[in-house]
Amino acid sequence: MRRLMLVIMISAFVLSLTGCWDRTELNDLALISATAFDKGNNNKILATVQVIIPQNQGSGQQTAAIGGGGPRAITRSAEGSNIEDALSKLQRKMPRRLFWGQCKIFIFGEEIARIGIREEFDYLVRHPQPRERAYLMVSKGKASEALNLIPPIERTSSEALREISNLRTGLLVTMEQMSMDLKGDSESNALPMVYILPPSKLADKPVQTIPYMKGAAVLKKGKLSGELTEKLLRGALLIDNVAADYSITFDVGGKQVSLHPVKTKVRLTPHIEGNNWSMTIKVQSEGSIVQNNSRMNPMKPEDLKEMNLAFRNDIHRRIEAAVVYLQQLKADTIHFATVYHKKYPKEWERVKEQWDEQFAKIKVTIEVKTDIKKPGLINTPGGMPYEEVQ
Amino acid sequence: MKGMGFEMDNGKITSFQVSLLMYSVILATGFITIPAISAHYAMNDFWLAPVLAILAGGSVLAISIKLHQLYPNKNLIQYSERIIGKVPGKILGIIYFQFFVFTCGIVSREYAEFVTGNFLFKTPMFCLVILMVLLAAFAVRGGVELIVRSTLLLTPLFILPLFFLLLLLPDFDVSNILPFMSHGFIPVIKGSLAPVSWYSEFLIIAYFLPSVIDQNKTVKYSFLSLLAVSASLTYVCLVALFVLGPDTANKVYPVLTAFRYISRADFFENLEALLLAMWVVGNFIKIAAVYYAAVLSFTSCFNLKDYKPFVFPIGILIVIHCFWDIPSFFKMAGFLATVGSFHLSTFMLVVPFLLFIIALCRKQWSKLVS
Amino acid sequence: MKRIGHPHSVKSKFMRKSRLLRMIHSKPEPTNKNSNQREEAPQHPLFSSLEQNKQQLEEVYSKCSDFIIRSFPVGDSNQVVIYYIDGLANASRIEQTIVEPLMGFNGETISIGYLAQHLITSASSKLVVTFDEAIKHLSIGEPLLLLNDEAQAITFGLSNWQTRSIEEPTAESVIRGPREGFTETLRVNTSLIRRIIKSPLLKMDSLCIGEYTQTNIIVTYIEGLAAAELISEVKERLGRIRIDGILESGYIEELIEDSPLSPFPQILSTERPDVVSANLLEGRVAILTEGTPFALIAPITFFSLMQSAEDYYQRFLFSTAIRWLRYFFAAISLLLPSFYVALLTFHQEMVPGSLLISMATSREAVPFPALVEALLMEITFEALREAGVRLPKQIGAAVSIVGALVIGQAAVQAGLVSAPMVIIVAITGISSFMIPRYITGLPIRLLRFPFILLAGSLGLLGIMSGLIALVLHLCSLKSFHVPYLSSVVKSDLKDIFIRSPIWMMDARPDLVTETNKYRQAQGQMPKPSQGSNDE
């Protein structure tokens, strides 16, 4: 009996005391959908946030009555000596409290990436609000421009970027992965590179387009030190074995054959003999034909063999190109360091300090096995008479 | 009221219930803190630490059960009076009372720091601590039966969030476990000091054993509980290692980060609030158990028949300790990672061990005499 | 508490009538023989003079227009007086079985025994020797016959008052299962139980509570199944009651509960004879009360409140699934609005992105904080629900239409509440109807509000603290010394989280009885007979 009274008294006490320490109404939050960091004047940082305007979200009948039609998001920028400084200045320009819980995209401008993002990255993993799942990107040119676009299909430009990433066709780096890479053995990693798609001819305004990702920025210790083209990125992705859904087009006797989807298994086997470090990349790829421009008939064993060979050479070339380029850059974005560390911890410990140099010296051998699994719905090349296909 | 040892709490509980209670007591704070501390020392071998620490946990359990068998129906304070004499026993009782109040204060502080640092940034810590200590006080006042019964109901709430970690399965990188023991055995041993001190909290069982009715099952269930603790902790460590890899040591709360990282189908995202729920429940159980030990230490020390009037005053003492002993989060983390391990294991492992040795000697001696 | 200590001081407050009446009313109930709190009140023997008896009785029943007096001579020298209460006694049967044979008799002086045994053709009759007994029988409609020069009287079982017919219980309807429900008549109710449990071990102890209403209460149990301590505990608690009147079993419930301040009922009330019988078979005790169709069952656990009679009549797999659904929706009903408030005001990041944006959109025009909005809507919903129960049936439909339109549609359109909140309230409402027993729904409905407040002040942490407090409370509750959650604690889970098949539930619930552990032969899982298997 007394216990109940006490419980009631205590809850009354708690309730009257708490009022609203941490309570924030949804209406008082500025939902940030993406953030961009650029180099500002005098070595300052220019932070740009894209904030969703809830009034303009045209969902449901009631909002139609309230408003809608306007832009669905807006960007705001502020400069500061570091991220927190810039953001606190930004907060002063916003009538609502900045809310990071749904911010899924962080874009670094090319210039600031060149200076290095390590120090600023600290804020993103230390502050409790930004999410570890957020995607990190580097933009060609100013990062804030990517946020200023008004996408025709998606709600915001950041959502367009996020949806593209979620298709998992290309490189995808979350904040936690970045944090692990920066802490990890090689201290180098690749981030997707953001470009702005030229607007469609149907667009009314030049901003009616979306940002998209092409190639990758290579970061050494958080500093932008090179760029992987889309083709090189494919090779690098093959080694890391991260992309899930992609197609490969290769030449067979001057004509193209495309496979989709391609499944690849990669095994990295490091060796150390004295001072000779070498790495064997064993690749096993398989795919199904979706287009066949050549005159080959995959149902014939000898033709299939030839196609397989071409497929193999193509993959070999891609990987080789990527490795050669990265070794030139001395940037180990393909995590060779981790592989060596795991297998040869003692030897690795010795070269740890000069890993970049050591990485460039590694002799890489690539062994590819390929298998074209399925011909698709037709056997001989379509769109031509039977006789033409020998 | 049978036998010579008077019972202050007439509640009757079973071995299984006590073991479940101990599981939550060890893991409530263990889940959150141990991976970070162990990873700090043992790098990527820190998942071995909870396994190694079984030795310490097992010896604490063995000692407390054996001592209880030597002096049935008596708690730690009551039999230490028998073992080392009345006055030293009383002094030890007061020390233990102080120790448990201090531990309870630390646990409350850990809880409040975690909540205010990650969820409720502006809520005064004072309020959270008072709310929690009050809830625990109600449980303690209700007696041992209420504590274990509510534990039985709350433990599922406590364990369930752990299964959510399996949602991270696609993000697992099992090879993070390599290189295995690249720095030798010493870092692992250093890393296992933290779990050792946590496991030594099994000593609290000494305060619950007098109320257990099925004594014959105590050994079985309590060691099962130890194994379960170790398995759960290893599981959590492995998940943290697989997901965070070399980054684990860098995180203040690796498990929290792992929870934050969960994302399934764009819907099951940002589930750290579930961890908060688990944390609150676990801490309630832990604080209630340590609180109970503190209250019992006090009353057995002064041979008081009824412990209920002392529950709330001791609660105030706990709240005071929670704020006075620890000036800041950094001090608390430093304490837990360094001195705390020794402090806890001294009282929970070394002292009971000495008591046990003395008790055995006394038994032998009295045999020799007769 | 005072009532027990000083029975007379309390009683004298409301006993200002005739001296006899007061004395009659202080007549002890049968159970009081054991309880020493109250001394034995004196009985008032009938006088041997008819005139004195008449005078006394008629004084007691003065100004009672329904008190009928019929006085006539019998034979040569005898005079009888018949009293009965109009409407309660069967007047035509009195005519047939008492008045006719007596008037046709013209013998000599007779004794009352002779009269009862040889003249009157009524099936049941009983000799009474005190005024107290006489009044008791009169008040339940049995005619009383007084004969001159006799210090005894006879009563006849000729009461016949208006009763409601047996109908289907409205609050606990089932699809499969018996459709009989208790009525307001005690005898009908006992007969309904006796029809199910025919063993003479089914005991029905009768007692009388209420100074003015003199309500008959029957404590029923099965001897050998119900623990003896339990039976005496129930009777002891009933015996403690000192009150003007018992109008419904709710009075008794409140007066014998273990923790009267708890929001949770610790005694089950049901209108279904099959539920009562099932509980009696599990060793519990039922209390039937005159004048209400609701029987009380004790002791219970929290989980018996979450069960429906039909659980045992349907296939066990389905019943198990339904049970889980019920537990889930009970939790929803308790926690959903508070969870919504916590998410919206504390843990916005937990809401998936696009959902959060659409919630933000719909909340944009709402002037209230989420906490106030939730409280407002929940209170409105409870009001609508209560109004629906109290209003005449014809208007009930109108209320629901007005409620749905006004609250649901207009409020959202006017931007007073957000559409998600309406959905939340609707789901909460529906889930509260999932709870099979009305009385279980009440605490959940009530506790929803503190939970909303807690969520509004501390978010999920507040909800968890509330849950811990709730668990502590439930764990400390007891129903007749049986812990409220004992079935969980004793890990007798066969009938809680699953409804095991009947052939698996061999043992009785061990919370009630120590002896007589098994209720059926073990290993009765049906299978094709051995013979057909061999072939």
Query: What digits encode the pLDDT tens for the residues A223-244?
Result: 888 888 888 888 888 787 776 6
| A195 lies in the same domain as A274 | no
Last-in-domain residue among A179, A209, A228: A228
Q: Which residue has the tokens 């890899």?
A: B245
Contacts of A6 in chain B (CB under 8 A): 138
Nearest residue to B57 (alpha-carbon basis) of B68, B65, B45: B65
CA distance C81 to C93: 16
Q: Are C273 and C189 in contact (CB under 8 A)?
A: yes
Q: Are residues C360 and A19, on separate chains, in Cβ contact within 8 Å?
A: no
User: Could you give the C-alpha distances from A204 to A71, A137, A212, in angstroms and in order?
Assistant: 14, 28, 20
User: How far A41 CA sits from the closest chain C CA (Å)?
Assistant: 33
| A214 lies in the same domain as A360 | no
Q: Are residues B179 and A10, on separate chains, in Cβ contact within 8 Å?
A: no
pLDDT of residue A3: 67
- The separation between CA C175 and the C-alpha centre of its own chain, rounded to angstroms, equals 22
Q: Are C231 and C247 in contact (CB under 8 A)?
A: no
pLDDT of residue C296: 93
| A45 lies in the same domain as A117 | yes
pLDDT of residue C276: 92
Helix spans in C483-522 (H): 486-489
CA distance C225 to C508: 9
Residue C373 tokens, joined:
């909005």
Q: Does C247 touch chain B (CB under 8 A)?
A: no
Q: How many domains does chain B have?
A: 1
Contacts of C457 in chain A (CB under 8 A): 14-15, 18-20, 23
Instruction: Indicate the pLDDT class of residue C287, thresholds 50, 70 and 90.
Output: very high
- Beta strands, E only, C86-152: 125-128, 144-147
| Segment among A271-275, B319-323, C521-525 with least mean pLDDT | C521-525
| A258 lies in the same domain as A384 | yes
Which of B135, B213, B214, B260 is the best residue to mutate to test the C interface, defined by the most C CB atoms within 10 Å of its own CB? B135
pLDDT of residue C144: 87
DSSP C41: P
Among C347, C350, C471, beta carbon nearest to B154: C471
Among B178, B246, B270, beta carbon nearest to A180: B246
Q: Are A97 and A30 in contact (CB under 8 A)?
A: yes
| Segment among A6-10, C140-144, C323-327 with least mean pLDDT | A6-10
Helix spans in C433-496 (H): 438-476, 486-489
Residue C121 phi, psi (nearest 5): -95, 5
* End-to-end CA, chain A: 96
Residue A350 phi, psi (nearest 5): -70, -40
Q: Which residue has the tokens 């002890």?
A: C28
Kindly state whether residue A20 falls inside one of the protein's structural domains: no
- The separation between CA C521 and the C-alpha centre of its own chain, rounded to angstroms, equals 33
Contacts of A174 in chain B (CB under 8 A): 261
User: Is omega for the bond preceding B179 within 30 degrees of 0, making it cis?
Assistant: yes
Kindly state whether residue A19 falls inside one of the protein's structural domains: no
**Per this entry, what is the length of chain A?**
390
Q: Which residues make beta-bridge pairs with A281?
A: A268, A366
Chains interfacing with B (3 or more CB pairs < 8 Å): A, C
pLDDT of residue B296: 87
| A239 lies in the same domain as A214 | no
* End-to-end CA, chain B: 30
Last-in-domain residue among A228, A258, A274: A228
User: How far A12 CA sits from the closest chain B CA (Å)?
Assistant: 12
pLDDT of residue C193: 93
C8 has pLDDT over 50? no
Kindly state whether residue A12 falls inside one of the protein's structural domains: no
* pLDDT tens track for A150-192: 877 777 888 888 888 887 777 888 888 888 888 777 778 888 8
Q: Are B128 and B120 in contact (CB under 8 A)?
A: yes
* pLDDT tens track for B291-323: 998 888 888 888 887 888 888 888 888 888 888
* pLDDT tens track for B52-63: 888 888 888 888
| A210 lies in the same domain as A342 | no
Q: Which residue has the tokens 């009446």?
A: C21
| Segment among A11-20, C194-203, C422-431 with least mean pLDDT | A11-20
Residue C356 tokens, joined:
């959060």
Q: Are residues B270 and C458, on separate chains, in Cβ contact within 8 Å?
A: no
DSSP A132: T
Q: Are A158 and A105 in contact (CB under 8 A)?
A: yes
Q: Which residue has the tokens 């005894």?
A: C152
* pLDDT tens track for C493-519: 567 777 878 777 777 776 555 666 777
pLDDT of residue C194: 92
* Interface residue ranges in chain A relative to chain B, Cβ cutoff 8 Å: 3, 6-7, 10, 14, 17-18, 21-22, 101, 128, 131-133, 166, 174, 176, 179-180, 183-185, 338, 341-343, 345-346, 349
Q: What is the mean pLDDT of chain C?
A: 80
Nearest residue to B146 (alpha-carbon basis) of C476, C317, A105: C476
Q: Are A71 and A53 in contact (CB under 8 A)?
A: yes
User: How far B89 CA sits from the closest chain A CA (Å)?
Assistant: 35
User: How far A103 CA sits from the closest chain B CA (Å)?
Assistant: 12
B6 has pLDDT over 70? no
pLDDT of residue C36: 42
Nearest residue to A162 (alpha-carbon basis) of A137, A139, A144, A143: A137
> Hey, is A258 helix, strand or coil?
strand
| Segment among A60-64, B36-40, C267-271, C376-380 with least mean pLDDT | A60-64
The DSSP bridge pattern shows strands C215-222 and C202-209 to be antiparallel
C33 has pLDDT over 50? no
Name the range with the highest mean pLDDT among A307-311, B103-107, B171-175, C361-365. B103-107
Q: What is the largest CA-CA distance in chain C?
A: 103
Q: Are residues B124 and A341, on separate chains, in Cβ contact within 8 Å?
A: no
Which domain range does residue A329 map to? 231-390
Q: What is the mean pLDDT of chain A?
A: 80
pLDDT of residue B7: 44
| pLDDT over 90, % of chain A | 0
pLDDT of residue C30: 45
Sign of CA dihedral C136, C138, C144, C148: positive
The DSSP bridge pattern shows strands A248-252 and A135-139 to be unpaired
B31 has pLDDT over 60? yes
Smallest CA–CA distance from A125 into chain B, residue: B251
Which domain range does residue B220 map to? 15-369
Burial class of residue A310 (count of CB atoms within 10 Å of its CB; 0-12, 13-18, 19+): buried
C288 has pLDDT over 90? yes
Q: Does B120 touch chain A (CB under 8 A)?
A: yes
CA distance C354 to B267: 9
Smallest CA–CA distance from C456 into chain A, residue: A23
Nearest residue to B191 (alpha-carbon basis) of B68, B29, B337: B337
| A237 lies in the same domain as A145 | no
Q: Does C458 touch chain B (CB under 8 A)?
A: yes
Which of B123, B172, B247 is the best residue to mutate to test the A interface, defined by the most A CB atoms within 10 Å of its own CB? B247
pLDDT of residue B320: 86
Kindly state whether residue B80 falls inside one of the protein's structural domains: yes
- Mean pLDDT throughout C324-346? 90
- Mean pLDDT throughout B42-52? 81
pLDDT of residue A13: 65
pLDDT of residue C513: 53
> Hey, is C307 helix, strand or coil?
coil
| A138 lies in the same domain as A244 | no
- Mean pLDDT throughout C474-482? 86
pLDDT of residue C39: 43
> Hey, is A353 helix, strand or coil?
helix
A86 has pLDDT over 50? yes
Q: Are A68 and A108 in contact (CB under 8 A)?
A: no
pLDDT of residue C34: 43
Contacts of B146 in chain C (CB under 8 A): 472, 475-476
More confident residue, B182 or A44: A44
Instruction: Indicate the pLDDT class of residue C277, thresholds 50, 70 and 90.
Output: very high
Q: Which residue has the tokens 């009971």?
A: B352
Kindly state whether residue B3 falls inside one of the protein's structural domains: no
Instruction: Indicate the pLDDT class of residue B9, thresholds 50, 70 and 90.
Output: low
Contacts of C357 in chain A (CB under 8 A): 31, 52, 54, 57, 102, 155
* End-to-end CA, chain C: 73
Rounded to two decimals, what is the model's pTM? 0.84
Q: How many domains does chain A have?
A: 2
* pLDDT tens track for C392-442: 777 777 777 777 777 677 877 777 888 888 889 889 988 888 888 888 888
User: Could you give the C-alpha distances from A174 to A134, A180, A189, A191, C25, in angstroms and in order?
Assistant: 5, 10, 12, 9, 84
- Mean pLDDT throughout A258-275? 81
Among B131, B142, B281, beta carbon nearest to C476: B142
Kindly state whether residue B336 falls inside one of the protein's structural domains: yes
Kindly state whether residue B187 falls inside one of the protein's structural domains: yes
Instruction: Indicate the pLDDT class of residue C389, thresholds 50, 70 and 90.
Output: confident
Q: Are residues B124 and A128, on separate chains, in Cβ contact within 8 Å?
A: no
Q: Are residues A133 and B127, on separate chains, in Cβ contact within 8 Å?
A: no
A265 has pLDDT over 70? yes
- Beta strands, E only, B187-313: 263-264, 268-269
Residue A92 tokens, joined:
């002063």
C24 has pLDDT over 60? no
What's A237's domain CATH number? 3.30.300.210
Name the range with the highest mean pLDDT among B134-138, C28-32, C72-76. B134-138
CA distance A103 to B39: 30
- Mean pLDDT throughout B364-368? 83
Q: Does B131 touch chain A (CB under 8 A)?
A: yes
More confident residue, C523 or C287: C287
What's B301's domain CATH number? 1.20.1740.10
Q: Are residues B284 and C459, on separate chains, in Cβ contact within 8 Å?
A: no
Contacts of A10 in chain B (CB under 8 A): 131, 134
Instruction: Indicate the pLDDT class of residue C340, thresholds 50, 70 and 90.
Output: very high
| A182 lies in the same domain as A281 | no
Contacts of A269 in chain B (CB under 8 A): none
User: How far B149 CA sits from the closest chain C CA (Å)?
Assistant: 6
C201 has pLDDT over 80? yes
pLDDT of residue C38: 42
* Interface residue ranges in chain B relative to chain C, Cβ cutoff 8 Å: 17, 115, 119-120, 123, 128, 131-132, 135, 138-139, 142, 146, 149-150, 152-154, 157, 266-267, 269-271, 273, 276-277, 280-281, 284
Give the residue extent of every domain in chain C.
Answer: 45-156, 186-300, 316-479
A62 has pLDDT over 50? no
Q: Are C119 and C106 in contact (CB under 8 A)?
A: no
Among B146, B152, B280, beta carbon nearest to C464: B280
Chains interfacing with A (3 or more CB pairs < 8 Å): B, C
The DSSP bridge pattern shows strands A188-196 and A135-139 to be parallel
Q: Are residues A26 and C476, on separate chains, in Cβ contact within 8 Å?
A: no
